[in-house]
């Protein structure tokens, strides 16, 4: 079966996490992704957080599936020529170097346009134009600058970063959408264009509801669904809301049976208004369904702490899975707190290809997260990440270099 991006060639100049997330998705959709790395070293993540000596780390392998790897010294004059040949034969150049690095290599937007006017140049940077545009940025910096950290955690504690890599993987995802959109526009205009996804912007986009709340706060001085209401204090900025759920459907994380020893024996419980009577029945507080102090969402808001404490008395008598089963019967929205171990072992995620076991020549078998976006006409096959420079000769031959020229370039240190 064909793939959605069959025929699209990507010059992948990405490293670490944000850029590689993007190009991996494009590769899963069928693009030919040629990852350019520095000879001898490669993407720095190959050697970061290694669990097996001298073997590509899981950090690298899990972000670089379905790609080919070529090693080129892009600061060597002959290496630059090879890169020019690649620019002329690819549709998209994706990069997430520090600001200015591509220009310093000699590959300005103008130069790339000269070489290939159809080329789409897609970049991840920490910040867009402005006071921080020259800064190098990693995941947690973006989470802090994009509004996630100031709105995450508990009111009486410091800002907290989230385990979800919204700065890196989140921005890679934004960039991938920009690239396919630019490819689509190119079918009309015939021209390439620049695509920029700044990590601060990507995080802020995911924190959209918090900017909504900032304006609500400024208008009304409070937000009733936040745990600060009615007893705590609201300041000038959106506060940290602990585990409260927004959107007017109060929720909280509650202990389940075994919580004393299992750090993940918890459930997320939402007291959705239409099922309030059912919740009262399940937890044995039938009288709350008609008691004016509890019967309506507005009446419940100032009592949420006590209400969740009462519900927790019930959830603590059940495991999170038992509670799920019972609550689902009544359409009460809830979710178990799943550990990574539980997720890794979940058969249904294996079946859908969301968790995939991959074999690697030096590492052996490992688990990865497959393509979370499922296309019915473009199924994803997850193939192992390339070894450093594994496809240099293959790609050079495709570019028209003879075996002798390849040897000469290697001798010159260009590849
Ligand atoms: N041959 C020769 N030189 C190469 C090369 C190659 N194949 N590939 C890269 N280089 C050079 C670059 O040209 C650059 O050289 P100069 O500094 O002389 O211009 C140099 O390698 C280092 O690139 P870098 O500055 O991007 O790398 P770093 O490790 O210092 O910084 C990072 C890493 C991620 C902080 C920075 O790249 C960045 O801010 N990127 C944008 C934001 C981003 O994506 N952050 C998320 C990363 S995932 O957490």
pLDDT tens for the chain, 415 residues long, are 899 999 999 999 999 999 999 999 999 999 999 999 998 899 999 999 999 999 999 999 999 999 999 999 999 999 999 999 999 999 999 999 999 999 999 999 999 999 999 999 999 999 999 999 999 999 999 999 999 999 999 999 999 999 999 999 999 999 999 999 999 999 999 999 999 999 999 999 999 999 999 999 999 999 988 988 887 889 999 999 999 986 668 999 999 999 999 999 999 999 999 999 999 999 999 999 999 999 999 999 889 999 999 999 999 999 999 999 999 999 999 999 999 999 999 999 999 999 999 999 999 999 999 999 999 999 999 999 999 999 999 999 999 999 999 999 999 999 9
| Long-range contacts of residues 287-291, Cβ cutoff 8 Å, at least 24 apart | none
Site to probe by mutation for ligand 1, drawn from 34, 45, 71, 101 as the one with most ligand atoms within 8 Å of Cβ, is 101
DSSP 39-80: TTT-SGGGGTT-SSTTS--HHHHTT-TTEEEEE--TTSHHHH
Rounded Cα distance between 191 and 187, Å, is 8
Sign of the torsion angle spanned by Cα atoms 14, 19, 23, 24: positive
Residue-wise burial string across 368-403, b where 16 or more C-beta atoms lie within 10 A, e elsewhere = bbbbeeeeeebebebebbbebbbbbbebbebeebee
Please calculate the CA angle 196-176-109 and round it to the nearest 5 degrees. Answer: 35
Residues identified as active-site: 168
Rounded Cα distance between 349 and 343, Å, is 8
Backbone angles phi, psi at 119, to 5 degrees: -70, 130
Q: Is 370 in contact with 356 (CB distance < 8 Å)? A: yes
Nearest residue (by CA) to ligand 1, atom 41, is: 125
Q: Is 35 in the pocket of ligand 1 (CB under 6 A)?
A: no
What is the distance between the terminal CA atoms of the chain, rounded to a whole angstrom? 34
* Segments of 56-193 assigned E as strands: 67-71, 92-95, 120-125
Q: What is the dihedral of CA 217, 163, 257, 349, to 10 degrees?
A: 120
Distance 380 CA to ligand 1 centre (A): 30
Question: How are the residues of the chain apportioned to helix, strand and coil, as percentages rounded to the nearest 5?
Answer: 40, 15, 45
Residue-wise burial string across 218-249, b where 16 or more C-beta atoms lie within 10 A, e elsewhere = eeeeebbbbbbeeeeebeeebbbbbebbeeee
């Amino acid at each position: 079966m064909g793939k959605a991006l069959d025929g699209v060639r990507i010059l992948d100049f990405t490293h670490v996490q944000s850029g590689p997330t993007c190009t991996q998705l494009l590769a899963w959709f069928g693009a030919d992704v040629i990852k350019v790395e520095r000879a001898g070293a490669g993407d720095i993540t190959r050697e970061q957080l290694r669990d097996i000596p001298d073997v590509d780390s899981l950090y690298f392998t899990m972000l670089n599936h379905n790609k080919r790897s070529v090693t080129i010294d892009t600061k060597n004059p002959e290496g630059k020529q090879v890169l020019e040949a690649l620019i002329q034969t690819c549709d998209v150049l994706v990069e997430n170097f520090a600001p200015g690095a591509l220009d310093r290599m000699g590959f300005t937007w103008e130069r790339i346009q000269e070489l290939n006017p159809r080329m789409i140049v897609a970049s991840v940077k920490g910040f867009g134009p402005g006071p921080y545009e020259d800064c190098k940025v990693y995941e947690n910096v973006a989470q802090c600058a994009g509004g996630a950290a100031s709105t995450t955690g508990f009111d009486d504690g410091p800002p907290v970063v989230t385990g979800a890599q919204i700065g890196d993987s989140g921005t890679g995802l934004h960039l991938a959408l920009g690239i396919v959109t630019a490819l689509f526009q190119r079918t009309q205009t015939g021209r390439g264009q620049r695509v920029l996804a700044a990590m601060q912007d990507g995080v802020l986009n995911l924190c959209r509801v918090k900017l909504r709340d900032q304006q609500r706060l400024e208008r009304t001085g409070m937000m009733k669904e936040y745990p600060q209401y009615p007893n705590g204090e609201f300041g000038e900025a959106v506060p940290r809301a602990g585990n409260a759920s927004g959107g007017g459907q109060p929720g909280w994380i509650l202990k389940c049976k075994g919580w004393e020893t299992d750090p993940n024996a918890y459930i997320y419980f939402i007291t959705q208004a239409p099922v309030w009577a059912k919740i009262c029945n399940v937890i044995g507080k039938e009288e709350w369904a008609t008691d004016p102090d509890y019967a309506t969402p507005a009446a419940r808001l100032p009592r949420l702490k006590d209400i969740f404490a009462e519900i927790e008395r019930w959830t603590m008598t059940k495991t999170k899975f038992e509670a799920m089963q019972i609550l689902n019967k009544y359409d009460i929205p809830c979710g178990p707190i799943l550990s990574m171990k539980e997720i890794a072992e979940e058969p249904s995620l294996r079946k859908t290809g969301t968790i995939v076991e991959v074999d690697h020549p030096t590492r052996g078998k490992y688990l990865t997260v497959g393509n979370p976006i499922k296309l019915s006409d473009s199924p994803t096959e997850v193939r192992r990440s390339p070894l450093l420079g594994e496809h240099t000769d293959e790609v050079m031959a495709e570019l028209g270099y003879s075996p002798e020229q390849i040897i000469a370039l290697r001798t010159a240190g260009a590849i």
